[in-house]
Amino acid sequence: MQNSTAESALRTLVAEIETYISTLKGPGIASVLEGIGKWARGPIGQIKSRSLPACDHLDPALRAMGKPSLAKAIADARPSLKWITYDGYSREDIGAGFADNHAFASLIGEGCPIEAVDFDLGLFIIAPHIFYRDHHHAAPELYAPLTGPHGWRFKPGDPLVWKEADDPVWNNPWDPHATMTGEAPFLAIFCWTRDASQPAKIIPSPDWPTLENPS
């Protein structure tokens, strides 16, 4: 892909994300839009492409999500996305299920195609039927799930609450949260609006084996 084509696809995707998030209601939406407005028009840096096994779930997620213009923008930008796994957890703490079945691609952030300082916006994918263990972090965080339903909880040990696509989740700094993905792959827009360099921490909960190995 020529660089101008890649830049165009990335800028279109960021514009589609901005348009989509502006349709959502709830805490944190305004601060995410403020960050996008501040950084999105900056120059495009180096574009690197990288895929991971979890990206195999992207096509079914795009088919499941509706929202055709946003889905097309993600598909068009796909050759320019650099998917990585989160390296802030040890494999033992986060568990092999999540470690081997997730990927995220930052669009705006430090070292991203669109450079930003202390702000991180991108796409996050997790395979179906995976539990993302209880964790928390200094960064205020928006998840805007494009597929659903997926299960959520905001206190270790609590039952899961199932939320449909397009129902955003806002996590204040250090608020615990965990996610159980449903039948469809989990595809979400994520944003850390500040404190983006501070790593997340796992919060152990004794019910993980039950959640991760349902009988």
> Nearest approach, Cβ of 175 to Fe ion (angstroms)?
9
Burial class (CB in 10 A: 0-12, 13-18, 19+), 25: exposed
Candidate segments 73-81, 100-108, 122-130, 138-146, binder of Fe ion by CB under 5 A: 138-146
Of 20 and 86, CB closest to Fe ion:
86
> Nearest approach, Cβ of 188 to Fe ion (angstroms)?
11
Candidate segments 102-110, 141-149, 157-165, 207-215, binder of Fe ion by CB under 5 A: 141-149
Of 29 and 71, CB closest to Fe ion:
29
Q: Is the dihedral of CA 108, 113, 115, 118 positive or negative?
A: positive
Specify whether the CB–CB gap between 58 and 64 falls below 8 A. Answer: no
Candidate segments 83-91, 116-124, 134-142, 154-162, binder of Fe ion by CB under 5 A: 134-142
> Nearest approach, Cβ of 17 to Fe ion (angstroms)?
18
Q: Quick count: other Cβ atoms within 10 Å of Cβ 169?
A: 20
Taken as a whole, the chain contains a residue count of 215
Of 39 and 89, CB closest to Fe ion:
89
Specify whether the CB–CB gap between 65 and 15 falls below 8 A. Answer: no
Site for Fe ion in 59-88 (CB under 5 A): none
Distance CA 71, CA 67 (A): 6
Residues of this chain that interact with Fe ion (CB under 5 A) are 141
